Amino acid sequence: MNRESLLAVATLVVVIGAVTTLALAGAVSDPADSETAADVEPTGHVSLTEITISADEVTGGTATLAVDTHLAHRGDPAENVTVVHRATDTKTGLVENTTKRAVQTMDDDAEVVVSDRLSIPRESSYEIETFVYRDGTRTESASRSVDGVDALTPAYADTDVEFHRFGGSAGGSLADVPAIGYSIASTTDDTATLEVDSYLTNTGDDTESDLELEVSARQSGSNVVADTATVDLSAIEPGKTALPTVELEVPQEYDYYLDAVLWRDGTIVGTNRAVANLGPGSLSVDETASDGGLEVSDFEGGSDRRADDGAAGDDSEDSGASSADGTPGFGVGVAVAALLATLALARRYQ
């Protein structure tokens, strides 16, 4: 065989080998399989950039927190994103609540705010954990601490109306006026009628209404309530001060706490206290007086009220400080005991 024939045969063998290799490669590696393998890894990227927590709805036993999660996106559209919040009591380590929120498909390289509400007991302190999941796999997490949940004001007790005390200025140009004041409107031999004024200022931006003021006169030494009066308040405009007045009739010659209670829909929303000194003492709001001279009958009314001259009823049967004839002594019981002791002593010496 000549050289030309050998070269032709060799060339044919190489071509057949190349074609065979390409055919085998096509059978082993399908382009569709390559695309499927690439889809295993999710496209696009989602990152957790910020978390903000604020108080939403507060009741007597529960505080609901508004949790906003800021997610940033870049690259291809991102699907199957989920945000989970978990509240753990830092004192007990117990999980109090968990929420889960699905996120719509993210695209356009935009930032998305995912809002959720998380309810927890209105007590203790909490760690609020946030987790971001992609296709069921956790990709990012963050946590925030929340303290003082018990200090949040329930909605039923929320009002901007406050008892307003006007403090004196450094130069003395403004008087020091307490939030509660009183004057004596009239008196009788036994009682005094007090006119009690309360300064109530709306410190908020909205008109306040449906408020009720209750004022009580409480005898300082016994805590006996001598009289109570209630007045409905008209609407108080923002920045305005209301001056409701009630009348209280109390026995004279005693010192009183004037307790003012602000009510809304059957719930106490504010309190304040002043004093009315009608007796010999000088009671102040910061002290508790002990009045041993209290006559309960003064606070019961009727014919048992104590007379002006201070005369008491006939207590001779109950008194052991004087004898039946009115002379000082130890009483009949002590006299009998002394007589028996004398007889026993006489028999001993016989």
What pLDDT does 27 receive?
46
For residues 58 and 153, the answer to whether their CB atoms sit within 8 Å is yes
What pLDDT does 35 receive?
46
What pLDDT does 172 receive?
55
- The b/e string for 66-96 (b: 16+ C-beta within 10 A; e otherwise) is ebebebebeeeebeebbbbbbbbbeeeeeee
Q: Mind listing the pLDDT tens digit of every residue in the chain (350 residues)?
A: 555 555 555 555 455 555 455 444 454 445 445 444 444 556 778 999 999 999 999 988 999 999 999 999 988 898 999 999 999 999 999 999 999 999 988 888 889 999 999 999 999 999 999 999 999 999 999 999 999 998 888 887 889 999 998 875 555 556 678 899 999 999 999 999 999 999 999 999 999 999 999 999 999 888 899 999 999 999 999 999 999 999 999 999 999 999 999 998 888 999 999 999 998 777 777 654 444 434 444 445 433 333 333 333 344 334 333 333 333 333 444 444 445 555 554 554 44
Strand ranges across the sheet with 137-146: 95-103, 81-89, 126-134, 137-146
Say how far apart CA 166 and CA 178 lie, in whole Å: 6
What pLDDT does 221 receive?
82
- The b/e string for 290-309 (b: 16+ C-beta within 10 A; e otherwise) is eeeebeeebbeeeeeebeee
What pLDDT does 51 receive?
95
Contacts with 220 (C-beta within 8 Å, 6 or more apart), sequence order: 254, 255, 256, 257, 275, 281, 283, 288, 289, 291
Say how far apart CA 249 and CA 23 lie, in whole Å: 112
What pLDDT does 222 receive?
86
What pLDDT does 10 receive?
53
Helix-, strand-, coil-residue percentages of the chain, each rounded to 5? 20, 45, 40
* Residues composing the chain: 350
Say how far apart CA 166 and CA 127 lie, in whole Å: 42
What pLDDT does 251 receive?
95
Please tell me the pTM assigned to this model: 0.52
What pLDDT does 310 receive?
35
> Three-class SS of residue 131?
strand
Question: Residue 47: which of 72, 77, 67 has the closest Cα?
Answer: 72
Say how far apart CA 233 and CA 241 lie, in whole Å: 11
Q: Look up residue 30 and give its two tokens.
A: 């399908």
* C-alpha neighbours within 13 Å on the C-beta side of residue 322: 9
What pLDDT does 5 receive?
57
What pLDDT does 156 receive?
78
For residues 215 and 196, the answer to whether their CB atoms sit within 8 Å is yes
Say how far apart CA 152 and CA 53 lie, in whole Å: 14
Say how far apart CA 339 and CA 350 lie, in whole Å: 17
Question: Residue 233: which of 256, 194, 260, 205 has the closest Cα?
Answer: 260
